[in-house]
Amino acid sequence: MAEGFKMLENFVANHSSIEEALKAAEDEFVRFFSGLSDEIPSTKSEVFGEGAYGRISLEVEERMKKLGYIQINKTLPPDHIAVELDFMAALTESVLVGELDFKTSIAEQIRFLEEEILACFKEPLEKLEKLGDFYGGVAKITLAFLNFDKKLLKEVLLWED
């Protein structure tokens, strides 16, 4: 994770001003995520070569709905990495409000993290690490966090009541 933060620090240091760094980050965002390029997929559908809101999107949405998740912001497809990460947060919240058993939530988070997020987005994040300057650092931090989260969740699952 520290390497990712170092990449971000170097990104800022390589620009003469914060404004210049922000402009470079915006340009990089457009290059990778504006829909003008399919170089870095941000949905499971794109990873598997299917258009947005197709069969894959519906399957992911159904999986999340079974655990009580309702996607509020519909501007992104349900299989977008941001929505999938929001679902993970919602699983944690569901325990805090008493909607889901603690161990069930942890087990579902591990399963979803392994079967959906890491299975689909590990390779695009690794590719982004190599291709991006600012978002390369973000990708490195994200992947490190996801791997740490998986390890931590597996340890928590072993806890006794």
For residue 82, count other CB atoms closer than 10 A to its CB: 12
Mean pLDDT of 25-45: 86
Checking if the pLDDT of 40 tops 80, the result is yes
Contacts of 81 (CB under 8 A, 6+ apart): 42, 43, 117, 121
What pLDDT shows up at residue 9? 95
For residue 103, count other CB atoms closer than 10 A to its CB: 13
Contacts of 112 (CB under 8 A, 6+ apart): 63, 84, 87, 88, 91
The amino acid that residue 19 corresponds to is: E
Question: Tens digits of per-residue pLDDT, 137-146?
Answer: 999 999 999 9
Checking if the pLDDT of 132 tops 80, the result is yes
What structural domains does the chain harbor? 2-157 (1.10.3480)
Spatial distance between the Cα atoms of 108 and 153, rounded to a whole number of angstroms: 10
From the list 29, 35, 43, 51, the residue with the least C-alpha distance to 124 is: 43
Checking if the pLDDT of 36 tops 80, the result is no
Which ranges constitute the DSSP H helices of the chain?
2-13, 18-33, 44-47, 55-66, 81-96, 102-112, 119-131, 134-157
Residue with tokens 């912001």: 73
